[in-house]
Structure 1
Amino acid sequence: MSALTTHVLDTALGRPAAGVPVTLAVFDAGTWTELASGLTDDDGRARSLGPDRVAPGRYRFTFDTGAYFAATGQVGFHPEVVVVFDVVDDGHYHVPLLLSPFAYSTYRGS
């Protein structure tokens, strides 16, 4: 499993958000570099983005919520959600996204 994972839940529909395009990038020397991309699975999870270990630093998940909303027939306010976070040790970092057409929230999960 990747050291960095995410899980997207569609709180408006009350189910996992399957098929959300997600990219993972790292910030180094003033530039963002994409490490991996993929789609959330049927359970709304992206488990295989990136390596099983990452160095401490700044990372970001970018969620193409506009594509997800279009695919599910919803009209959304946020066409993209960008979550930037700092990795400070070699542990696992899980970053869930709770999503609705007009709001979102995120936190460090387990």
Structure 2
Amino acid sequence: MKISIQVLDAANGRPCAEVDASLACETATGLIKLASGRTGGDGRLVLAEGPDVGAATYQVEVELDSYYTLQGCLPLFVRASFVFRVRGTTTDLHLPLLTSPQALLAYRGAD
């Protein structure tokens, strides 16, 4: 199974390149950070892949402040964080995040 994201700048109609993101797993004692990385030129980043990705509740956090600061904007949302559940481990999960300086939208996409 694979968990991937794609961060898209809806205000400017382009991918958000060079944006830091991380993946954590919820446990009984709190969050455990599993992976972190930076989006490529297409705004995509694979955060987890392989047999260790199991049924659990996960959190993705995407840093937006530096991206929008470089665009000359002061964003309302400094970072985007969303929590989601993985029930089975046979289907890849692609999670696009549409952003603008004033809005966020995450959804289940098709890779």
Match of 2:96 in 1: 96
Give the equivalent residue in structure 1 for 2:57.
58
Runs of 5+ unmatched residues, structure 2: none
Using the size of structure 1 for normalisation, the TM-score is 0.92
- Corresponding position of 1:31: 30
Say whether 1:45 aligns with 2:44. yes
Aligned-pair CA distance for 1:60: 0.9
| Length, aligned pairs only | 108
Calculate percent identity across the aligned residue pairs.
35
> Secondary structure, in 3 states, of the residue corresponding to 1:50?
strand
TM-score (norm 2): 0.91
Q: Distance in 2 between matches of 1:72 and 1:8?
A: 15
- 1:11-30 → structure 2 map (5 Å cutoff): 11-30=10-29
Root-mean-square deviation over aligned CA pairs: 1.2
Which is strand-richer, 1 or 2?
2
User: C-alpha displacement at 1:71, in angstroms?
Assistant: 2.5
- State the one-letter code of the partner of 1:78: F
Flag structure 1 segments of 5+ consecutive residues without an equivalent: none
How far apart, in 1, do the equivalents of 2:71 and 2:50 lie?
Answer: 32
